[in-house]
A and B are shown apart, each in its own frame.
Chain A
Amino acid sequence: MQKSIALGADHDINTDLLRPLCETGIGWYSIATISGLVLLAAVGAFGYQLYRGIGVWGLNRPVMWAFDITNFVFWIGISHAGTLISAILRVTGAEWRRPVTRCAEAITVFALLIGAMFPIVHLGRPWLFYWVAPLPNGRGLWPNYRSPLVWDFFAINTYLLGSIIYLYIPLIPDLALVRDRSKGLKRKIYGMLSLGWWGTQRQWQRLEKAVQVMAVIIIPVAVSVHTIVSWDFAMAIQPMWHSTMFGPYFVAGAIFSGIAALILAMAVLRKVLHLERYLKPVHFNNLGLLLLTMSLIWFYFTFAEYLTTWYGNEPAEKVIFQQKVSGPFSPMFWTMVTLCFVIPVVVLGFKRSRTIKGTVIASAGIVVGMWLERFLIIVPTLSHPRMPFNWGSYRPTWVEVTLLTGTFGYFVLLYCLFVKVFPIVAVWEYKEGLATRPAEVKAAAAHGD
């Protein structure tokens, strides 16, 4: 493999892409501060929850899960951005992926960190979360391997570990690049992080190999994770939870919301970090097409799910169906359908509106819509148990709302810190792309402009 790009261009790209690491603008500070404060509020809310008890949430009998598990599923879903874009595109060798991959992989890790928090946060006694882990203990007790929550524990940890590795491996050459351009303590740290990368032929070969292997491994892991998350519901016997379709339905929904989140993240990065040269309209166009596909798939699943429920006419399910479609949850339900299907299809279906702005608008709607989708899976079922005497309702408290907004603050903050420390566009991959398929890239660039 030849690295024969003109030194000047190479230098330019390096400087360009590493600029966020050296220069810190007012934009970064304000975003980091705001997101940090939002996160801090959520931490405070969690502290209050720990101090008072989980009763500070709006949960009740029969609605024992609501925002907590909605957030959990939502963020685990968002985390699927990294896998698909990066791994699938890598495996299939889609060239346009190059500036996008790291951005996506970072989303995976951050969203997972946030999502995986919720099963702990939502516990009645969060300080005992480690009992779910198979740790040897004086009581001689083990977790219950029949419980989907234990499967979750393993699946999410596997996925998190895999995602971190998958984020890290392609980061190594760039870390070395940063190391080479810095000095002092910073150089030492980056030196340690880059694991002695000197860019030898053997190292490049091994890197490529590792990335490829990880890409192949991470796809089934990602699919299994959200399938297992869906089984939290599907394994239960509650009406409109006990569905065989939930695995693929959730995976599709996860990828759907993940791409939307990725588009939003890219748009923000593009603006804030001035990456217009790298994140081009073509990327948004391509991702927009993917999003359109996922929207159609999502709608297909949703339609199939609701049609079979309606046609089957099973009394317990019918109640929940009605609650969603025409009952008190119907405003949320139809908002969801509009945000996840109507708007995306209209906006993304036409090339003219599949612009950066268009995809961002569609994506923002989808992120909200997909949060609603998870909420609508959880709450109507729980609030309408089989015996109507026990029907209830649910209203969130400020603690839950603060925790939800806090997750976004956390996400943004993590991203801010990440772009401060690591190049958000994979420098070597980008350059590799320029080297191997300059024509294609040029064509793409021309198309985008």
Chain B
Amino acid sequence: MPRLLLFGFLGVVVCAASGFVLLELSNTSAPAQPIAFDHWQHVTKPDGAQLECTFCHEHADKSAHATIPNTDTCMGCHQSIKTESPEIQELADYADRHQQPPWKRVYWIEAEANEFFTHKPHIRASIECETCHGAVSQSHTVKRETNLTMGWCVDCHKQRGASVDCYVCHR
């Protein structure tokens, strides 16, 4: 009986621990996206489009959300460009159906943090996108490169002389 209890207890501990580990892992993993979008190709590739971030993430400078472009934006170019690619065809299918690919979000902050991150003031303060999002322009798949912990945010705020008042982000 005590042995059973012991095992039971250990089992719970192991489950909990592995749960946390998985939780942490899932935070940093690169989720599989419905369409293999390649940032490098759009931004950095020498003979590519060499787009600005805000070309697609067009609301970053005026809203809380940078937003993912809808298929209309994509099709603006891909109506004629690289239409032979199966990925683009898939994209075109979505656009025809007036649907959006179920993109997976890569960066988020848990709702229970009661946190109100806003892109706009960061862009206004000329913070590079890559400060928080890592070298997206160089990567073929996006994965979470920073953990967005509070200490990490606060460090940067301190470095740049931004307010570290809790009420700046939490409310």
Chain A contacts to B: CB under 8 angstroms = 137-140
Distance to closest chain A CB from B28 (angstroms):
14
Q: List 12 A-B contacts (CB under 8 A).
A: A137-B151, A138-B149, A138-B150, A138-B151, A138-B152, A139-B149, A139-B150, A139-B151, A139-B154, A140-B150, A140-B151, A140-B154
Contacts of B151 in A (CB 8 A): 137-140
Q: Which residues of A contact B150 (CB under 8 A)?
A: 138-140
In order of increasing CB-CB distance, the 3 nearest A-B pairs are: A139-B150, A138-B151, A138-B149
A50 to chain B minimum Cβ distance, whole angstroms, is 16
User: What is the CB-to-nearest-CB distance from B18 to chain A, in angstroms, rounded to a whole number?
Assistant: 19
Q: Point out the residues of chain B lying under 8 angstroms from A138, CB to CB.
A: 149-152
Instruction: Give the nearest-CB partner of B166 in chain A.
Output: A141
Question: For chain B residues 118-163, which have a beta carbon within 8 Å of chain A?
Answer: 149-152, 154
CB distance from A199 to the nearest CB of B (A): 32
The interface size bin for chain B is: under 10
Contact residues, B17-64 vs A (CB, 8 A): none
Closest to B149 in A: A138
Given the complex, which residues of B lie within 8 Å of A137, measured CB to CB?
151
Separation of A140 and B150 alpha carbons in the complex (Å): 8
Q: How far is the CA of A238 from the CA of B152 in the complex (A)?
A: 40
List 9 extra interface pairs beyond A139-B150, A140-B151, A140-B154, CB under 8 A: A137-B151, A138-B149, A138-B150, A138-B151, A138-B152, A139-B149, A139-B151, A139-B154, A140-B150
Set of chain A residues within 8 Å of B154, measured between Cβ atoms? 139-140
Q: Would you give the shortest CB distance from A259 to chain B, in whole angstroms?
A: 37
Residue of B nearest to A141 (CB): B150
CB-based nearest A residue for B158: A140
* Min CB–CB distance A310 → chain B (angstroms): 44
Q: Closest residue to A139 on the B side, CB-wise?
A: B150
List the A side residues contacting B152 at CB < 8 Å.
138
Q: How far apart are the CA atoms of A140 and B151 in the complex, in Å?
A: 6
A62 to B149, CA, bound (A): 36
Q: Report the nearest A residue to B153, measured CB to CB.
A: A139
Q: Complex Cα distance A140/B149, Å? A: 10
- A127–B142 Cα distance when bound, in Å, is 34
- Provide the residues of chain B in CB contact with A140, threshold 8 Å: 150-151, 154
Closest chain-B Cβ to A222's Cβ sits at a distance in Å of: 34
Question: Chain B's nearest CB lies how many Å from the CB of A66?
Answer: 28
- For A140, the closest partner residue in chain B by CB is B151
Identify the closest chain A residue to B152 (Cβ): A138
Contacts of A139 in B (CB 8 A): 149-151, 154
A36, chain B: closest CB distance, angstroms:
15
Chain A residues within an 8 Å CB radius of B149: 138-139
Distance from B81 Cβ to chain A, minimum over Cβ atoms (Å): 44
| Bound-state Cα–Cα, A137 to B149, Å | 10
Nearest CB on B from A299, distance (A): 48
**What's the least CB distance linking A126 to chain B, in Å?**
16
A139–B149 alpha-carbon span in the complex (Å): 7
A427 to chain B, nearest CB (A): 28
The distance in angstroms between the C-alpha atoms of A137 and B151, with both chains bound, is 8
Q: How far does the alpha carbon of A140 sit from the alpha carbon of B156 in the complex, in Å?
A: 13
| Nearest chain A CB to B71 CB, angstrom units | 38
The answer for the CA separation of A76 and B152 in the assembled complex, in Å, is 40
* A436 shortest CB reach to chain B, Å: 42
- Tell me the smallest distance from the CB of A38 to a CB of chain B, in Å: 21
In the assembled complex, the Cα of A94 lies from the Cα of B149 at a distance in Å of 59
Distance (whole angstroms) from the CB of B164 to the closest CB of chain A: 9
Q: How far is the CB of B165 from chain A (nearest CB, A)?
A: 13
Q: How near does chain B come to A432, taking the closest CB pair, in angstroms?
A: 36
**Nearest-Cβ distance from residue B76 to partner chain A, whole angstroms:** 42
Q: How far is the CA of A157 from the CA of B164 in the complex (A)?
A: 32
Please give the distance in Å from B120's CB to the nearest CB on chain A. 24
**CB nearest neighbor in A for B155:** A140
Residue of B nearest to A137 (CB): B151
A139 to B154: give the CA distance in the assembly, Å: 8
* Nearest CB of B to A284, in Å: 39
CA distance A138 to B154 in the complex (A): 10
Min distance, Cβ A47 to any Cβ of chain B, angstroms: 15
Taking the closest CB of chain B, its distance from the CB of A316, in whole angstroms, is 32
| Cα distance A310–B2 in the bound complex, in angstroms | 59
Q: How far is the CB of B94 from chain A (nearest CB, A)?
A: 39
Q: How far is the CB of B169 from chain A (nearest CB, A)?
A: 12
Q: Which residue of A lies closest to B150 (CB)?
A: A139
In the complex, what distance in Å separates the CA atom of A139 from the CA atom of B148? 11
For the complex, give the distance between the alpha carbons of A365 and B152 in Å: 57
The distance in angstroms between the C-alpha atoms of A255 and B19, with both chains bound, is 46
